């Protein structure tokens, strides 16, 4: 930390203006980019532990309620819910568990880094949120196993935060990727049904274009919205969540027969056919939300988190739809599934009450609907119309797996920024040359890492 602070300081001294610009920019796109990442990349670090589901014994709830006592504090990342929704949660939770005093504490910025500091100090709240900052192997040092909470249904991401057969984290909710679209725009272009294959998708785009509507808002210039083409769409095409990890095993991850090439070719095709914004190098994220809301633009290829933002930008909820992206002509809908933060309970805290709280958050709070997440309980229908519609297409979910350090290392060594690579791939006259160069960089870096 000390060294990084020094380097940062030196850089700041040299760049003078740059520091504030970096900060501000991060802040501006933060909400979107962050939640986007949570949706697509929220992979845990290591260790697919054993299945712990068998141990869970149903406890007699009535008896348990009175046994749970004392104070329990939840360290949340949702500063915006303090004194609002959380007051309501507290009332409902304490009504169910009269012996418990539920408290909320929030961290506004950089939750992961601050949580690390709190944990290092030895004093941290009973219930915290964990993402990737803490390796799974360290869980037993800090957290209590949560296997004995009896949920009414199977959980998503059950094993992602496990170590040596015990589960230490329960997902707060899931995120997926698909096409968010304006139903009015579709109706205006005469599209009766959402496309089920890639060809139908192109046809629909053509109809939208003919109707004077921009078919697909790529937000090309801002780079981060292009991340989906290297993560989510790749998962959809391959049906496998670990394509990114498997790159570590090859010298040519971006070759012409790779899923990456296939995925990037789709957006290149859309660019060539004029289905993206008029000038992709001059797009505007904030404006695009309004344009989707008013029907000037028809579709986004992003995570479900954007739905609430489009509604916030002025769209009527019933006008906004969400369907799985048909990345091929097979006709079977697929969608990636990634987790947001995980609940974890401090091993030294009030674990009984903490477990009761986690159980309550998953089963009864309705937090996932408020946050716009896919419910953690596998078969629980979402309270959000768009997510219910999405599930109605019966997509096969490709659940995220732990990321591999090695692939990340190679990518960093090769200095490959995949989003910039997508830009180059789409704009270049000769995309083969672009991937050849990337493959060459990759192979060179891979040799160095091994």
Partner 1 sequence: MLGRLNFSTQKKIIIIAFVAIPVLLLLTFAYYPALELVRLSFTNWDGMSPTSDYIGWDNYKEVFSNPEIFGVFKNNFAYFAVGIVQNIVAIYFAVILNGKLRGRNFFRLMLFLPYILNGVAVAYLFSYVFDTTQGSLNFLIGHLGFASDTSWLGNESMINYTLASIGFWRFMGFNMVVYLAALQAIPSDIYEAAAIDGAGGWKSFLHITLPNLYKIIELNLFLTVTGALEVFDLPYIVTKGGPAGASETFVMKIVETAFQFNDYGLASAMSVVLLAFVVVLLSIQRYLLNRGGQD
What's the closest the beta carbon of residue 217 comes to partner 1, in angstroms? 12
Strands 320-323 and 166-167: unpaired
Element (H, E) at 423: helix 418-427
CB of 447 to partner 1, least distance (A): 15
Print burial letters for 392-413: b (CB count within 10 Å at least 16), e (below 16): eeebebbbbbbbbeebeebbeb
Look at phi and psi of residue 47 and say left if phi exceeds 0, alpha if psi is from -120 to 50, else beta.
left
Nearer to partner 1, 64 or 443 (CB): 443
Task: Work out how close the CB of 110 gets to partner 1 at its nearest, in angstroms, rounded to a whole number.
Answer: 14
CB of 375 to partner 1, least distance (A): 34
Shortest separation between residue 222's beta carbon and partner 1, angstroms = 7
β-pair type (100-106, 70-76): parallel
Residue placing its CB nearer to partner 1 in the complex, 211 or 280: 280
Q: Which helix (H) or strand (E) holds 290?
A: helix 285-294
Closest distance to partner 1 from the beta carbon of 195 (Å): 26
What SS3 class is residue 75?
A: strand
In whole angstroms, how close is the CB of 138 to partner 1 at the nearest point?
Answer: 15
CB nearer partner 1, residue 8 or residue 108: 8
Structure tokens at 165: 């057969």
Q: Contact at 8 Å (CB) between 79 and 269? A: no
User: How many alpha carbons fall within 13 Å on the CB side of residue 139?
Assistant: 31
Query: Using CB under 8 A as the criterion, which residues of the chain lie in contact with partner 1 when the complex forms?
Result: 3-4, 6-7, 9-11, 13-18, 20-22, 24-25, 220-223, 277-282, 284, 287, 411-413, 415, 417, 420, 423-424, 427-428
Residue 189 C-beta: closest distance to partner 1, Å = 20
Task: Output 282 or 394, the one with its CB closest to partner 1.
Answer: 282
Q: CB 186 → partner 1: shortest distance, Å?
A: 22
Q: Is 143 left (phi over 0), alpha (psi -120 to 50) or beta?
A: beta
User: Bridge-partner residues for 128, per DSSP?
Assistant: 344
Which residues, in sequence order, are bridge partners of residue 176?
Answer: 337
Q: Quick check: 298 and 171 in contact, CB under 8 A?
A: no
Contacts of 318 by beta carbon, 8 Å cutoff, 6+ apart: 183, 385
Nearer to partner 1, 62 or 212 (CB): 212
- Using CA atoms, how far apart are residues 297 and 340, in angstroms rounded to an integer? 28
Structure letter (DSSP) for residue 143? E
CB atoms within 10 A of CB 22: 13
Task: Let me know if 281 is exposed, middle or buried by CB neighbors in 10 A (0-12, 13-18, 19+).
Answer: exposed
């Amino acid at each position: 930390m000390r060294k990084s602070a020094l380097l940062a300081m030196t850089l700041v001294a040299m760049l003078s203006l740059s520091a504030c610009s970096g900060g501000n920019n991060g802040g501006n796109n933060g909400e979107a980019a962050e939640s986007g990442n949570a949706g697509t990349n929220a992979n845990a670090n290591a260790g697919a532990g054993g299945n712990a589901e068998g141990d869970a014994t149903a406890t007699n709830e009535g008896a348990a309620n009175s046994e749970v006592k004392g104070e329990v504090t939840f360290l949340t990342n949702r500063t915006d819910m303090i004194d609002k929704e959380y007051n309501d949660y507290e009332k409902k939770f304490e009504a169910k568990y009269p012996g418990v005093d539920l408290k909320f504490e929030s961290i506004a910025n950089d939750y992961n880094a601050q949580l690390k500091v709190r944990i290092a100090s030895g004093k941290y709240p009973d219930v915290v949120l964990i993402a990737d900052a803490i390796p799974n192997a360290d869980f037993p040092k800090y957290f209590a196993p949560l296997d004995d909470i009896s949920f009414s249904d199977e959980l998503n991401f059950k094993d992602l935060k496990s170590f040596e057969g015990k589960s230490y984290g329960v997902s707060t909710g899931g995120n997926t990727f698909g096409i968010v679209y304006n139903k009015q725009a579709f109706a205006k272009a005469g599209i009766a049904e959402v496309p089920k294959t890639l060809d139908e998708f192109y046809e629909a785009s053509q109809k939208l274009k003919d109707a004077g509507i921009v078919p697909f808002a790529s937000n090309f210039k801002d780079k981060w919205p292009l991340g989906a083409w290297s993560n989510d769409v790749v998962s959809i095409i391959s049906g496998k969540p670990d394509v990114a990890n498997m790159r570590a095993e090859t010298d040519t991850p971006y070759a012409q027969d790779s899923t990456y090439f296939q995925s990037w070719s789709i957006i290149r095709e859309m660019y060539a056919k004029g289905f993206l914004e008029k000038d992709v190098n001059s797009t505007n994220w904030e404006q695009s939300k309004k344009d989707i809301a008013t029907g000037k633009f028809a579709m986004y290829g992003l995570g479900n988190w954007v739905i609430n933002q489009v509604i916030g930008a002025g769209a009527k909820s019933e006008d906004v739809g969400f369907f799985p992206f048909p990345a091929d002509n097979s006709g079977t809908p697929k969608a990636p599934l990634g987790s947001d933060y995980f609940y974890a309970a401090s091993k030294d805290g009030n674990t009984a009450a903490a477990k009761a709280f986690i159980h309550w958050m998953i089963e009864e709070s309705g937090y996932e609907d408020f946050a716009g997440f896919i419910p953690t309980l596998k078969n629980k229908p979402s309270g959000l119309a768009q997510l219910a519609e999405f599930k109605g297409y019966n997509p096969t979910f490709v659940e995220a797996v732990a990321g591999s350090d090695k692939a990340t290392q190679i990518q960093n060594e090769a200095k490959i920024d995949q989003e910039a690579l997508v830009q180059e791939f789409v704009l270049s006259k000769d995309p083969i040359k672009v991937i050849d160069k990337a493959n060459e960089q990759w192979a060179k870096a891979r040799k160095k890492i091994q």
